[in-house]
Amino acid sequence: MNAKTPLEIAIVAYRRPRDPDNRRSEAQIRDAHALAETGVFSKNNIVDITGLPYNFTFGLIEKHDVTGGRLNPETLWPMRTLARQWKQGKEVDRKIIREILAADTSQSTLAKLTGIPQQSISYWMAHA
């Protein structure tokens, strides 16, 4: 996959195999920098997505802006499905939205990563 959007960059980083000895790979470090450069993810999000140790990541990434939000990295792939549905003008699967939100990803993060307006997500969930 040629990663371009913040969501695609996050998926590539999260799906990257982890070192069984918990060593930091150059690929994980590049992923952390790429995620930080998107301006979408918090340091905590970057730790969760890359699997890098918390203290290492905080020393590695200089971020002074407040970004991110609640994100369960397990919901990245289902978000990709929603983003594609939305981009193609298809009806988005509200069941997937409910599952993502139930997995502790916030509506604002879901909206930011998929391009679906948060107002639409809120409306669909209130009128489901």
Residue 11 lies in a domain: yes
Residues 121 and 80 grouped into a single domain: yes
Residues 28 and 53 grouped into a single domain: yes
Q: Environment class of residue 46 by beta-carbon count within 10 Å: exposed (0-12), middle (13-18) or buried (19+)?
A: buried
Residues 56 and 10 grouped into a single domain: yes
Question: Confidence class of residue 2 from pLDDT cuts 50, 70 and 90?
Answer: low
Residue 85 lies in a domain: yes
- What local confidence, expressed as pLDDT, does residue 1 receive? 46
CA distance 48 to 69: 12
Residue 45 lies in a domain: yes
- pLDDT tens column, 100-112: 999 999 999 999 9
- pLDDT tens column, 61-73: 876 666 778 999 9
Instruction: Work out the end-to-end distance of the chain between its first and last CA atoms, rounded to an integer number of angstroms.
Output: 34
CA distance 31 to 28: 5
CB 52 within 8 A of CB 35: no
Residue 20 lies in a domain: yes
Mean pLDDT of 24-42: 90
The total number of structural domains in the chain stands at 2
Mean pLDDT of 36-62: 89
Percent composition of the chain: helix, strand, coil (DSSP 3-state, to 5): 60, 0, 40
Residues 118 and 77 grouped into a single domain: yes
pTM attached to this predicted model: 0.88
Residues 50 and 11 grouped into a single domain: yes
Domain-terminating residue out of 16, 31, 60: 60
* Mean pLDDT for the chain overall: 90
Domain span at residue 99 reads: 73-126
